[in-house]
């Protein structure tokens, strides 16, 4: 049985905030078109034709997912596969009002949905209103506080620029092994275009052209010339790798416990 612990659809690459340490580098780059409901359905259909089950199906963004005008429709589409995943996770920076349409859909499926609300204290009144609305409607929320002296995880990390670090194989293995994506998540599988990467650094770096396009480091669900067995084998190969090429272009600080490598979250440019 092939089970992915977490699988993310990147539905937007634009944001209403301009965070200095954005790990998706959204402020510095032009946004791609939002994922359509049809595109999401195509990717999910292809994904479940290859994998047997997903733990957390995540509708997320290289940006703010609640900006997506069809988010309610995307939730409905995801729920067409509700028997194939454990829970649906939505993410928000809490600064965008929740539409009535979206709230109705979330309430309809709330037994299956978790909303992660990040509180940055950038727009405190709206952040409070968003969380209050969700909790009053008995929506399960995971609240991450990212302001003040007691920030979740001690704050954000700096993933650095895109220059190669020229690490040895042993150093690359350490970066991969100690990374929270490997150590905690056992893969933060994510895709915007059907090419499923192990982590944000790999996916975002390659789509922006900042990392060499290494087909060994992703599974192209929409490739008609690769069999189901080949794609399944590739998921396993990447998951069991000693490192991936993106490790050479990453600070390696993801998941670090060193507070000196943690910075205040969501500082605006």
What pLDDT, on a 0 to 100 scale, did the predictor assign at position 257? Answer: 81
195, 220 in Cβ contact below 8 A?
yes
| pLDDT, average across residues 191-215 | 98
* The pairing of beta strand 195-197 with beta strand 218-220: antiparallel
Q: Is the pTM of this model over 0.85?
A: yes
3-class DSSP state of 164: coil
Q: What is the 8-class DSSP label of residue 94?
A: S
Binning pLDDT at 50, 70 and 90, where does residue 259 land? confident
SS3 content of the chain, % helix, strand, coil (to 5): 35, 20, 45
Reported as a single tens digit per residue, the pLDDT across 29-62 is 999 999 999 999 999 999 999 999 999 999 999 8
Domains of the chain by start residue, with CATH:
3-261 (3.20.20.70)
Q: Can you tell me the distance from the alpha carbon of 46 to that of 70, in angstroms, rounded to the nearest whole number?
A: 21
Query: Residues 88-108: pLDDT tens digits?
Result: 999 999 999 999 999 999 999
Maximum distance among all alpha carbons in the chain?
53
Where residue 83 falls among pLDDT bands split at 50, 70, 90?
A: very high
């Amino acid at each position: 049985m092939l089970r992915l612990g977490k699988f993310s659809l990147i539905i937007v690459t634009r944001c209403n905030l301009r965070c200095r340490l954005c790990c998706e580098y959204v402020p510095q780059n032009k946004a791609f078109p939002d994922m359509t409901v049809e595109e999401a359905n195509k990717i999910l259909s292809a994904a479940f034709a290859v994998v047997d089950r997903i733990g957390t199906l995540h509708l997320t963004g290289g940006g703010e997912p609640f900006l997506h005008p069809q988010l309610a429709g995307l939730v409905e589409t995801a729920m067409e596969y509700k028997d194939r995943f454990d829970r649906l996770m939505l993410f928000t920076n809490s600064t965008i009002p929740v539409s009535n349409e979206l709230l109705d859909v979330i309430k309809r499926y709330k037994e299956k949905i978790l909303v992660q609300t990040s509180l940055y204290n950038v727009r405190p009144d709206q952040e409070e209103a968003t969380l209050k609305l969700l909790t009053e409607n008995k929506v399960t929320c995971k609240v991450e506080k990212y302001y003040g002296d007691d920030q979740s995880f001690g704050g954000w990390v700096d993933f650095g620029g895109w220059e190669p670090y020229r690490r040895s194989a042993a150093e690359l293995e350490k970066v991969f092994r100690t990374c929270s994506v490997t150590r905690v998540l056992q893969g933060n599988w994510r895709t915007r275009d059907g090419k499923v990467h192990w982590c944000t650094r790999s996916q975002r770096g390659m789509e922006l052209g900042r990392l060499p396009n290494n087909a060994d480091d992703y599974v192209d669900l929409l490739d008609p010339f690769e069999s189901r067995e080949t794609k399944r084998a590739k998921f396993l190969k990447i998951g069991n790798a000693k490192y991936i090429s993106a490790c050479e272009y990453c600070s390696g600080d993801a998941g670090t416990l060193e507070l000196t490598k943690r910075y205040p979250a969501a500082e605006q440019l």
